[in-house]
Amino acid sequence: MRKGVHTTVGAIIRVQDDSGEKILLTRRNVQPFQGRWCLPGGHIDRYETAWDAVIREVREETGLAFDPQFFNYFDEIFADRDIHHVVLMFTGTASGTLQAQESEVSETGWFSVQDALSLELAFGHAAVVGAYARSRGLLV
């Protein structure tokens, strides 16, 4: 039986501080890519909109209330891991108290785009962060 393509959502949550713009990354506590940093997100539940899914996933993984705006879509194809996702990526700000959901996330952190891109990110998130940075003029 042939496996299908899965549609997922992801969030680029940003804050501004004295040192510039930072984005939120979470360290995965589950497979695939356990131990790697990534953007918050996950699968869309049956009969759930992508908009509702990204708000839910951010709340589940980080405890934050996310105010999403659609950014772009990305393909994540890893044949060696039997993964084929079409990711609907959102960006925006969030409010509330940051708290990692330990069943999925072992750690959270705010990173500059340059620092985020220096990490070995899970899934295709390096391409996502790079596209986001270029769209905001954050890469030199």
Q: What is the pLDDT of residues 109-125, one digit of tens each?
A: 999 999 999 999 999 99
Pairing outcome for strands 105-111 and 37-38: unpaired
Q: Is residue 56 part of a domain?
A: yes
Q: Is residue 1 part of a domain?
A: no
Gap between the Cα atoms of 66 and 68, Å rounded = 6
Q: Is residue 51 part of a domain?
A: yes
Structural domain for 56, as ranges: 6-135
Q: Is residue 23 part of a domain?
A: yes
Residue 78 pLDDT greater than 50, yes or no: yes
Long-range contacts of 134-139 (CB under 8 A, 24+ apart): 135/71, 136/21, 138/20, 138/21, 138/113, 138/114, 139/113, 139/114
What pLDDT, on the 0 to 100 scale, is given for residue 140? Answer: 62
Q: Is residue 140 part of a domain?
A: no
Gap between the Cα atoms of 60 and 41, Å rounded = 9
Considering Cα of 132, then 133, then 137, then 138, what sign does the dihedral take? positive
- Which of 96, 118, 85 lies closest to 13, judged by CA? 96
The CATH number covering residue 101 comes to 3.90.79.10
Locate 43 and state its tokens: 């699968």
pLDDT band at 1 (very low <50, low <70, confident <90, very high): very low
Gap between the Cα atoms of 75 and 25, Å rounded = 19
Q: Is residue 58 part of a domain?
A: yes
Count of domains for the chain: 1
Identify the residue whose tokens are 């934050």: 64
pTM above 0.75, yes or no: yes
Q: Is residue 30 part of a domain?
A: yes
